[in-house]
Amino acid sequence: MESRPAEPKKSNKAGIIIALLSIVVIIQSVKIYLDYNDKAQIIEQKANVEEDLAGTMQRLKEIQTELDQKIVEIGKLGGDVKELEQAKAEITAQLKRNVATSSKAIKELKDRVQGYEELLKLKDDEIEKLQSANKELFSENKQLKTQKNVLNDSINRLASTKKDLASKVAIASQLKAENVTVMAVNSKGKERESPFKNKQLEKLKVEFNLAENKVAPIEGKKIMIRVIDENNQVIFDVAKGSGTLMLNNKEEFYTAIQEILFDNTRQKLTFFYTKGSEYASGNYSIEIYADGYQMGSAQFAVK
Read off the pLDDT of residues 44-75 as tens digits, 9 standing for 90 and up: 556 556 777 777 778 878 888 888 888 888 88
Q: Compute the mean pLDDT over every residue in the chain, rounded to the nearest whole number.
A: 82
| Position 18 confidence tier, pLDDT thresholds 50, 70, 90 | confident
Above pLDDT 90, what percent of the chain? 39
Mean pLDDT of 116-131: 82
- Burial (0-12, 13-18, 19+ Cβ within 10 Å), 153: exposed
pLDDT confidence of residue 15: 77
The gap between the terminal CA atoms of the chain, to the nearest Å, is 112
Q: Which of 121-130, 149-158, 233-242, 249-258 has the lowest mean pLDDT?
A: 149-158
pLDDT at 7 over 60: no
Least confident of 87-101, 124-138, 199-213, 287-301: 87-101
Task: Encode 231-263: b = buried (16+ Cβ within 10 Å), e = exposed.
Answer: eeeebbeeeeebeebebeeeeebbbbeeeeebe
Confidence label for 158 from pLDDT (cuts 50, 70 and 90): low
Q: Which residue has the higher pLDDT, 143 or 298?
A: 298
Select the more confidently predicted residue: 88 or 269: 269
Q: What is the mean pLDDT of residues 121-138?
A: 80
DSSP state of 284: E
Lowest mean pLDDT across 74-88, 134-148, 246-260: 134-148
Residue 170 has what pLDDT? 64
In contact, 110 and 56? CB cutoff 8 Å: yes
Task: Name the packing angle between helices 7-76 and 103-141 (round to 10°).
Answer: 20
* Higher pLDDT among residues 59 and 222, named by residue: 222
The residue type of 143 is Q
Instruction: Write down all domains in the chain, each with its CATH number in brackets.
Output: 56-172 (no CATH), 177-302 (2.60.40.10)
Residue 103 scores a pLDDT above 70: no
Contact 225, 243 (CB under 8 A): no
Most confident region among 44-48, 128-132, 218-222 by mean pLDDT: 218-222
Give φ, ψ of 292 to 5 degrees. 85, 5
